[in-house]
Structure 1
Amino acid sequence: MTAARLTHELTADLKGAGLEDFYRDLHRHPELSMREHRTSATLAARLRAAGYETTEAVGVTGVVGVLRNGEGPTVMLRGDMDALPVQEATGLAYASEHDGVMHACGHDLHVTWLVGAAETLAAGRDTWSGTLVIVGQPGEETGEGARAMVADGLHTRFPRPDAVFGQHVAPGPKGLYSHTPGLTMSASTEVDIVIHGIGGHGSRPESTVDPIVTAAYVVTRLQAVVAREIAAKDSAVLTVGRFHAGSKNNIIPAEARLGLTLRSQSPRVQQQLVAGIRRMVAGECSAAGCARPPEITVGNEFPVTVNDAALDQKVAAVHTEVFGAGSVFDFGPAMGSEDFSRLAPDGVPYDFWHVPATPDSTWSAAPGADLEEKFGNVPGNHSPLFAPDPAVITPGVQAMVAAALTTLV
């Protein structure tokens, strides 16, 4: 039996699995990166009940479930678990009960898909042969989680996979599945900057070195790194997401702090961006006569995500068979970033795709004449209004099950 036909057979009764209630519960109880204690315990309980050898606290709050089912290949399925420091504004009946914390990136849906796929494949174990490794990953948003799990023995304590699969919810019309062979997501680097001025009274600016003015010049000047130092053929984004300085209207502070994110599609361009930032910030601070050189700290880094082309084409073909002609499309490389690729040991192929989940009414009301225009006019990941349609729970599980079966049957 083909992977597509077997997927339909195994998921025929999926709606009775209580997954929507599970999803709503997760959405109500979001947890920040590396603090996903309730989420990981909930996931671990479902995996144990389905017959998986389950290990908790892998890489702080990570969960690994292993189901050995005879001779055959080993498949790893991953779902990330962390939420974001975002105040929810969806108005959903099952909105977050934790003030200032929200599943604004849809990782609650990812865990739900993971549970649904794990339970489905366990229940249908007489139809395939091999080993399943289910990974509930913490800390994707901060870039800590995959690295922590690998450091804690993910690649040595548990069966080595022959293929690794993951999927991510995205804005867009339901019923589509975005597959990109090769480069699919970009590298990302966080940079923190502290500018040291000389503080004083707002009435005597001549006795100070104002770090706010210097930081403002830095913010505008940094845009030239992309505009004038990166070749037009290379994609790059430099965003200043934080600017903190001062405590009172009539006080010139002693320092200003900036937080940046850099994104590109190659390590070479990332290095160019960091080098340009260091040079320009140092130059502005020197020109302003700052008290001392700036502090520039390179923080969390995400690698590029490069799908194995052959594996992606294989999974895309099965998804087309499962969901119908025209359901699979190639959106091209995105500027978003992921740490998913770190879960695949060196040389092991992996595939990562996206599942659009915007409610029909929201998508229909969005201005725009085509997919790309509308895409930019609906709430996306990290928005306080991001609210995936629960109707994608069943097809999302089917997509993961189908991917696993491409290797297990």
Structure 2
Amino acid sequence: HVWPGLAGSIDVTRGPAMSYSDAWKVTVKGRGGHGSQPESTIDPVVLAAHMIVRIQSLLSREVAAQKSAVITIATIHAGLKENIIPPSAEFTINMRNLDTEVREHLLAGLRRVIKAEAMASNAPEPEIEELYTFPLLVNDEAETDKVIGVLRGVLGEDKVNEKPAVMGSEDFGALPDAIGVPGVYWFFGGMPPEVMESDEPVPSNHSPFFGPVMEPTLSTGTTAAYEVLMSRLRAK
């Protein structure tokens, strides 16, 4: 996968390499009414705000500092007019982590917080729709050693770097288990030296400013894939 590393380089991780990812849509139910009479309503906007703030405390107070986890709430939608309290609100959750036990705890914690905040506001139980789940991507350590050896032999020692796990996610993580073979997933950089050396933040994947240079990005990516594949075929 191309990413914001130096063009011409390869980055690879041993063991857990990319995180689980779980996405939900939450529909908060209230009772709509006029903004001048909030006492006759159950305001789903205020309720959703309480949920969103409380959810972040799951990370700061229920996950050990040595563990990695991220919860992002990037969309919230409610209402059509400034003086009308709507009957419902919606927001989405994206959660990422690298540990199965942490994941299970946070999934349960999310449901607990969402339901408890609704109960505290005397609101109906919210609807939770599970949108998708990406598995933990784990690189086989023995095969990773072989891949690193092949790539350093072809590209040079200084072009192949070992990196810690990242919190991005990939459905590639499901493939090795599905077909019963070990897997190795690596990144190839696409940024020119002047971008990497700039004082400005390097644009990340999915940023509108992320623009890999054609070369040596393309030739490095194709060479890496070809050489690793051929090394496995020759071994057979």
TM-score class, shorter? over 0.9
Matched, 1:385 2:209: yes
CA contact under 8 A between 1:235 and 1:264: conserved in structure 2? yes
**Could you tell me how far apart the structure 2 residues matched to 1:327 and 1:227 are?**
37
Q: Which secondary structure state, in structure 2, belongs to the residue aligned with residue 262 of structure 1?
A: strand
Q: 1:234 aligns with which of 67, 81, 89?
A: 67
Q: Which secondary structure state, in structure 2, belongs to the residue aligned with residue 333 of structure 1?
A: coil
Structure number with greater CO (CA < 8 Å, separation at least 6) is 2
Q: What does residue 159 of structure 2 align with?
A: 327
Q: What does residue 403 of structure 1 align with?
A: 228
CA contact under 8 A between 1:314 and 1:406: conserved in structure 2? no
Q: Which secondary structure state, in structure 1, belongs to the residue aligned with residue 184 of structure 2?
A: strand
Q: What does residue 115 of structure 2 align with?
A: 282
> What is the letter of the counterpart of residue 125 of structure 2?
P
Write out per-residue CA displacement over residues 254-286 of structure 1, whole angstroms, 9 at most, x where no aligned residue.
Answer: 111110011111222111111101111111111
**Gap runs ≥5 in structure 1:** 1-167, 368-376
**Could you tell me how far apart the structure 1 residues matched to 2:11 and 2:199 are?**
20
Q: What does residue 337 of structure 1 align with?
A: 169
Matched, 1:304 2:128: no
* Residue 379 (structure 1) shift: 0.9
* Residue 299 (structure 1) shift: 2.4
Q: How many pairs were matched up?
A: 232
Counterpart mapping for 1:45-60 below 5 A: none
**Could you tell me how far apart the structure 1 residues matched to 2:165 and 2:52 are?**
27
CA contact under 8 A between 2:137 and 2:174: conserved in structure 1? no
Write out per-residue CA displacement over residues 117-168 of structure 1, whole angstroms, 9 at most, x where no aligned residue.
Answer: xxxxxxxxxxxxxxxxxxxxxxxxxxxxxxxxxxxxxxxxxxxxxxxxxxx1
Structure 1 length normalisation: TM-score? 0.55
**Could you tell me how far apart the structure 2 residues matched to 1:394 and 1:234 are?**
37
CA contact under 8 A between 2:134 and 2:173: conserved in structure 1? no
* Residue 206 (structure 1) shift: 1.4
Q: What does residue 6 of structure 1 align with?
A: none
Q: What does residue 364 of structure 1 align with?
A: 197
**Could you tell me how far apart the structure 1 residues matched to 2:139 and 2:5 are?**
21
Q: What does residue 218 of structure 1 align with?
A: 51
Q: What does residue 257 of structure 1 align with?
A: 90
CA contact under 8 A between 1:315 and 1:402: conserved in structure 2? no
Counting aligned pairs with the same residue, the percent is 39
**Could you tell me how far apart the structure 2 residues matched to 1:386 and 1:178 are?**
18
* Residue 333 (structure 1) shift: 0.9
**Could you tell me how far apart the structure 1 residues matched to 2:92 and 2:119 are?**
20
> What is the letter of the counterpart of residue 155 of structure 2?
F
**Could you tell me how far apart the structure 1 residues matched to 2:161 and 2:194 are?**
22
* Residue 395 (structure 1) shift: 1.2
Distance 1:346 1:268, change over 3 A: farther
CA contact under 8 A between 1:183 and 1:333: conserved in structure 2? yes
**Could you tell me how far apart the structure 2 residues matched to 1:299 and 1:257 are?**
13
**Could you tell me how far apart the structure 2 residues matched to 1:357 and 1:286 are?**
49
**Gap runs ≥5 in structure 2:** none
* Residue 234 (structure 1) shift: 1.9
Matched, 1:192 2:29: no
> What is the letter of the counterpart of residue 341 of structure 1?
G
CA contact under 8 A between 2:9 and 2:220: conserved in structure 1? no
Q: Which secondary structure state, in structure 2, belongs to the residue aligned with residue 183 of structure 1?
A: strand
* Residue 346 (structure 1) shift: 4.9
Q: What does residue 153 of structure 1 align with?
A: none
